[in-house]
Amino acid sequence: MRVPRVIRVLALTIGLSAFAHDGRAVHICPEGATDGQSLARQQAWRQYFESVQEALRDSPDPRDRALAAFAGSFAFDDRVQAEAVARSAADAAADDMLAQWIALRRSQVASGNYEPMLSRLEQHEPDNAAVWLEVLVRAVYLKDRVTADDALARMAQSSRFDVGLTDLSNAWSKAFARFPSDPAWRFDDEANELVARVRPVFEPLLAMCRIDPDTGANLDHASACASIGRLLVAGDGSASSSEAGHVLLGDDSQPAL
């Protein structure tokens, strides 16, 4: 999947593993600038970006505050603060699913307490398999087999798999449009060098779909897992989702997750 330009630019600015997001994280590997001109441009961009982030953080709009939290550092102290900002924004905009996704992601890497946001996503996006994947992952972690089985069935019945990266990209584009930068700050060259992947946590799902040839364990999941595999292959276009889908469909030519 080609990561939208604004997300790649943000990735270079923040140097983060975040959202992604959608799935659980967007892993960023920016190319470091070495010449003086590029370093100056990076510094100019960082100053501009931090001013935008500060304005968003002080905004009365909950979505703006959620975006500021998304872009926050993943250092421990900053991570805790960003979670608090994101959760406050999500509580203030309970019908904004992008705010819920952002707060869920920030909570996953901080306190691990993301149940309120997950409940809202379940209510508002019951047809989104990405939501039920989060339910499944949490249930497996809590050793709640009944809830995990139900989440697997709900994934199989879903009509889409969407972790919200497109919505996030659009929201950031609109935010930056409100704070135009100096047109001389051309950051596209550096941004185009980024490598980013959206990688949800598929391992618990794959484990539930792995049939033991000796005992027949998980054989009762075969039909649901095949449906989920087809959904992931046709889904959000991310490499990790497609790879997981092919694994579920038994395509051994796909690289291991």
Provide the pLDDT confidence category of residue 87 given band limits of 50, 70 and 90: very high
* Alpha carbon distance 144, 141 (integer Å): 8
- Write down the pTM of the prediction: 0.78
pLDDT in tens, 37-86: 778 877 877 788 788 888 999 999 999 999 998 887 656 678 888 899 99
The amino acid sitting at 159 is S
Tokens of 219: 């054989």
Closest CA to 62 of 38, 36, 109, 97: 97
| 254 DSSP assignment | S
Residue 242 has pLDDT above 60, yes or no: yes
pLDDT in tens, 107-154: 886 677 889 999 999 999 999 999 999 999 999 999 999 999 999 999
CA gap 142, 59 in Å, rounded: 37
- In this predicted structure, the answer to whether residue 17 has a pLDDT above a threshold of 50 is no
